[in-house]
Every structure is written in C-alpha cells, then in structure tokens.
Structure 1
Amino acid sequence: MHTRLSKCALEVDDSRAFWAHADETTDVNAQRAFDEYWFGARSLARVEVLLTNMRARFSAFPSALSVLHSWQHMSPETRRAICHWHLQLTDPLYRCFTGTYLVARRSGPRPEVTRDLVVAWVGQQGPSRWMMSMRIQFASKLLSAAYSAALVTSNRDPRPIGMPHVPDEALEYLMYLLRETEFEGSLLDNPYTSSVGLEGAILEERLRGLPGLVFRRQGDLIDFGWRYHDLRMWADVNLRSEERRLAGAAL
C-alpha cells in the first residue's frame, strides 16, 4: 500500500501530455518538464508529483509507453479507459475499489455509492494508522478518479455507478498489455475488464469481435489466438492503418 493516489487522481489530460513528450528513451526529470511546460503552467513541486505518478503508471511498462507515445489519434473514450487501467495496474487500493467494490455495488439493489460509504470502505482497507483525515482524502481521490473514468456518473451524493463505453481499440490494447504483464486473475476474469462492465458472456462476445485476436470457446476449452506477436507489433500495424485512413479522408 502506498499513498501516491492521495496527491494525484486519474489525470487524463496530464497523462496525455506525458505520453506526448516521453518515451522509453527520454530522460524524464521534473526540471526539464517544468522548463518545457509539459503540464502547462504548473509549479515545479506539482510537476514533481505528476512525474512520480506518471513514471509509476506508464514508464514501468516500456512497451506500453512506446505505443502511447506514438498513438497520435486516440479517441477520448480510449484515452480514459487506458488511464483507468494503468492506474489500476499500479495502485492496489484503486484496483480493489474499482474492480471489486464498485462492481459489487453495481450488481446490488442500489447501484450507487456515497462519500461516507467510501470513507468507511477505505478505513477497512488501509493501515490502522491512517487517521480520518487521510481516509477522507483517499476517498475523495478514489471518487474523483472513478468519476473521471466514468465509473460513477456524478460528483454529488448519491453517485450512480455507470459503465463507460470501451472502444474495440482500447480493449485490444488491454488484452495485449495483460498478455505480457504478470497480474492476478486471467484474461477472462480480472479487475480491469470487470471494472468497466465486461464480464462473463458480455466480455466473451466482445472478444469474438476484436480484429486483433481470435477468441474461441468450446465448452470449458478456451483458445486465444493472437494475430500479432506483442503489443508493439499490434500498435505498429493498427496505428499505421489509422494514419493512412485519416490521410485518405483528408484528401
């Protein structure tokens, strides 16, 4: 358990700025990002906080960062989903909150949540040394991040729990990322897809329609057929195809 989330929520726009400037070979330091206005007119102290979180969320996955750096034409829905999944991958509290707690609330008789409920939940998850002020701060950041990810649809209590739209390109990105990442669960049962409402038959139906892989089920036998060797190759083919499509539309 760490406390990075207490200072930085989902930060979709700042993540986009980080992807634009950083790749696996970039010397990322706060002074350079501050001088070059990577995150706009932010203080050096705030830039340091942002970079600490961006490194944990994206630099820890070099293949993913390389892909995100070169992905110029990304839909807002895809960007939101990718930021959400990378925060889940690197923050166990957010992963449990969005992949377990909100999923259970969504399927319950009242698919909504309040700040008081989340404060109480944080108290059950975190160390006993966390004071109430820390629990409230975490609850606020969790709800802010979930709202930015469209997992809750209001920033006022009671907050209905939603299911964001996940484009095919975003789901393919996640599958290829998880394929080369050690994580708890399986490709069909994990907090990343569950958090956005993709579970069971719904998830399997979406997987069957993805052009970047071949999914088959026969009884208890499941076969994942990957059309590309890894995430980088998937991106190389798909991003070039998208660029050609956009160039043709501009003519």
Structure 2
Amino acid sequence: MYLNIHTHHIEADEAIFQVQNLVIDSAIPVEVWEKQLVNSLPNQYFSAGLHPWYLKETQLEADLALLKRILTHPKVLFLGECGLDRICQTDWTFQINVFKTQIQIAEALQKPTVIHCVRAFSEIIQIKKLLRPKFPWLIHGFNNNEQILKQLIQHQLYVSLGAALLQDKSNASRLITSIPIKQLFLETDDKNCTISSIFVAASNLLEVDIEYLQEKIYANFKQIVEHQGSQ
C-alpha cells in the first residue's frame, strides 16, 4: 500500500492510505467539517490545523475551539499543518504564538504534528527545544539544504518529501539518501501528481524496491501515530 502522509487532493484508489489536510476555518459551520469526516473513504484520514497563511486574530478563539473539536474525531490523526512562514503576510509574533498554542493542543490531545516551515527552521528547532514535546513532529514538503536537513534529523524530526523528487536537481532528490529511512515520509501535498509517482522516484533514488519502501514508510506511520517517535 502507498502511504501519502500529506495531501490536499484525495486519489480514488484503495491501494493508497492517505492523510488529507484540513485548513481549519471557523467561518465554515462545524456541521460541514463533521460531514466531511463522516463521509470519508475507509482509506482516508486527516490532519487538521491553523495554517500560518490564513490566521486571523479576530476569529482565533473560535478557530482554536473548532480545531480542538475536530481533533477528537478518530479519523483525525495529526494536528497540522501548522507552523511558521517568513514570506507570508501574517504578523510574525502572532504566527509564533499560535504555533506554540497548537503544539500545546497537540500534546494535550496526544497527536503528532505536521509542520509547514518556510525560512524558519532555526525557530522551529528552538521552539521544539523549549517546549520539549513528547509527541512527534513532521516537516512536510522538505526541499532545503543539507545543513538544515542535518539539524532536523539531529533533533529527531520526521521529514516528508514530495513533488520535488520528480525534479532531478532538486535538494530533495539530492539529499534523500541522507535521510534515515526511519525518519522518512512521502507526500503529494497540493501538487498535480500521484503518490505512486513519488514512490517510484524515491525508490529509484534510494536504489530500493518500491515494496521495501512501502513497508518501511508504513512502519514509520505506525510508529508516529502510536506516539513512539521523537521525544
């Protein structure tokens, strides 16, 4: 089975175990969110979080209340994506405060966290060292340099690679062999590609069989959702 740890688009394929991202917005009635969860496919699970691009101070309290409610559903396995983004318009201090709040929620509800990070890896690591979360963190869509990757691995974060693997000279393609397989995930995010194409690219770069890669990544998934990952 292919495991897609982070996607915005569900593939109608029973051979894919997929985690769809929900960008929480309390302006949308709670019934709409709950209907989506109830009507989901057997192989469809979810992450839910407040994305730094869309944070609004005026509805933060309502957004956090909705997030907590959605996270209690058994098909919502992760909090996220949440995180920090230096190139978006959202106030920086506000981003940091909301990210820390979401990490506290993840810890209270015993959920791993999917993290969106743009030009803020040192801050993410600093916050991890400060908060010392017991439940795993996963950086999604990694396509950065070797120095940053080494820091993420050293601080026991999981790393998910996506469509950048389809580009021969991308950082993701160049550095995938530097990621311990026990810390590796694959994803499609919001890109127009299939998870099987990502697995093919990864297996070629790693020089391993797809079946082996499927087995190892599913084992990582079991570990992260059973809360036996990074400490």
TM-score by length of 2: 0.26
Indicate the structure with greater helix content: 1
| TM-score (structure 1 length as normaliser) | 0.24
Greater strand percent: which structure?
Answer: 2
